[in-house]
Amino acid sequence: MSKRIAFLRIAQETNALSPVLTSIDDFRRTHFFEHGDLLDRCQPRGEEAPGFLRNAELSGFVKAMKRLAGDEVELVPMFSAWMIPAGPLTEDAVRWFLDRIRREFEAAGHLDGVYVSLHGAMRGVVFEEPEADFLETIRKLVGPDVPVVASLDLHAQMSRRKADTGALFLAYHTNPHRDHASTGARCADVLYKAVTGQARPVMAWRTLPMVLGGGFTLDFLAPMRGVFRYIRRVMRHPKVMDASALMVQLWNDDKHLGWACTAIVDGDTLLAEEVAHELAHKLWSVRHHMPPLFPTADEAMVQIRRAKWARRLGTICLSDASDMVGAGAVGENTRLLRTLLEEGEGMRIFATVRDEEVVEALWGTSEGARVEVEVGGKICPELSRPLPVEGVVRGRSTDHGFGRRVLLDLGHMQLIVTEGPPLAMKPMFYRSMGLKPMKADVVMVKSLFPFRLFFLCQNRKTIYARTRGMTDFDAPYRVQFAHPVHPVHPVSDWQTVDALRRGAWY
């Protein structure tokens, strides 16, 4: 008799500072697939996340499970709901997911295992830790003995509630993230061995009173390179099934916010504790390597003007570090945009800003029409002022999941005004409006890390500019922590806080 294994996704990275709440309709507009359609999208010729990734966690899981099990396993696809980083989930959205989970699992009948793809940093308005609620509900429905494996982004927040569900947690091993599918495959390997009795996975975890460190936290650069090398090395141990480092989402208001790690071992609880403890020490050792201090908008313009060869040979990717849509910001901050408009004469600049009112007002305007509008600064006027611009309407388009867009020609700047969040992370964001990033001196991106992969062919220099917004790196200084946390407070030892958070004593 074949084993029955269910798989599903509920994923969103929440920026708790955003006033724009996330509804179930946001998930439906962006990414929502279910049952047979979801399974088809996870096949070799399918496209799991249209517009984002052909193969991600679920397709990696399905492919690996078929390779491992063949006909021994019956896969039970439930649903996949994903939303770009944004504000906290509404109460109705969380309740909708909880109800959907109950209906799916009741309809599925007997299950031998469950795989759920999460982000790990989801927050809600009423439900503070929705992912723990999801896992607790799944655990009640399948019982205490059915293996549950969950994949996480490495910017996840690990918690006692999540751990107490008995789920096994595995996270990405790369930053920028480029191992979505292989993370799903790792989950398949652990779950298959657990379901078939080939292994008895046990998990240990640690949490650190630390929210910043590790420099840029890129897996291939020091100091984090040494941490990830340790993970790869320890996973060669015959009993160690997996190990993960979690570096949290900074724009989270969890009072227990902090880096963490997990270790999954076959049947040896003591070894799992040892691996998790050593990995925690490795993470704690990089706490004094702080992220670089980004230049102001004016300082960034000086760097841009000096980088003549970078502009001639390709483009400069200018990250609006205080308004990163890829980290949940709204995308309407005008501070950097104002500097580019006022000081960028003589250069060709591609930029973007969110303004639903302007898109609505210009949607019926003929191409070639000259217009005067004020863009941005309307959702969070305390962070930036609306910016008056005058230009010519050059195009319109509708982007799946993100709404309508209007292209304004402002002379040296081509400005895309968006109805929804302007996820300027890939060259296609600009190409879809007829713009060629390779021909620009400067391309504004609203991302921290992923754009580095997608703009690899065009980008000749990366500059991060800070102004003042909801993705500034000083956000943790506004969190009311339950215990002292580095670098907000002086902390010399991580183990006391770890024991308090986990309810464990050494």
CA of 357: how far to CAs of 96, 360, 373, in Å? Answer: 30, 5, 10
- % of the chain at pLDDT higher than 70: 100
- pLDDT > 60? residue 416: yes
- pLDDT, tens digit (0-9, with 9 covering 90-100), for 196-231: 999 999 999 999 999 999 999 999 999 999 999 999
- pLDDT, tens digit (0-9, with 9 covering 90-100), for 42-54: 999 999 999 889 9
pLDDT of residue 83: 96
Model confidence band, residue 456 (pLDDT cutoffs 50, 70, 90)? very high
Q: What is the mean pLDDT of residues 271-296?
A: 97
Give the residue with greater pLDDT, 50 vs 504.
50
Q: What is the mean pLDDT of residues 105-124?
A: 98
Q: What is the mean pLDDT of residues 339-354?
A: 97
pLDDT of residue 506: 45
- pLDDT > 80? residue 460: yes
Residue 90: CA count within 13 A, CB half-sphere: 11
- pLDDT > 80? residue 504: no
Residues in the chain: 506
Name which of 405, 357, 383, 391 is nearest 467 in CA terms. 383
d(CA 156, CA 259): 9
CB-CB contact of 428 with 435 (8 Å): no
Other C-beta atoms closer than 10 Å to the C-beta of 153 total 24
Name which of 137, 133, 34 is nearest 81 in CA terms. 34
CB-CB contact of 267 with 251 (8 Å): no
Q: Is 347 exposed, middle or buried (0-12, 13-18, 19+ CB in 10 A)?
A: middle
Query: Position 90: which residue type?
Result: T
Residue 16: CA count within 13 A, CB half-sphere: 23
Q: What is the mean pLDDT of residues 239-255?
A: 96
pLDDT of residue 399: 87
Mean pLDDT of the chain: 96
Alpha-helix runs per DSSP H in 169-307: 180-195, 224-234, 269-284, 297-306
Q: What is the mean pLDDT of residues 25-37?
A: 96
Enumerate domains of the chain plus CATH numbers.
3-284 (3.40.50.2300), 297-465 (no CATH)
Please measure the distance between the N-terminal and C-terminal CA atoms of the chain and give it in whole angstroms.
44
d(CA 201, CA 267): 6
pLDDT of residue 213: 97
Phi, psi of 138 (to 5 degrees): -60, -45
Per the listing, tokens 């863009």 go with 375
pLDDT of residue 505: 55
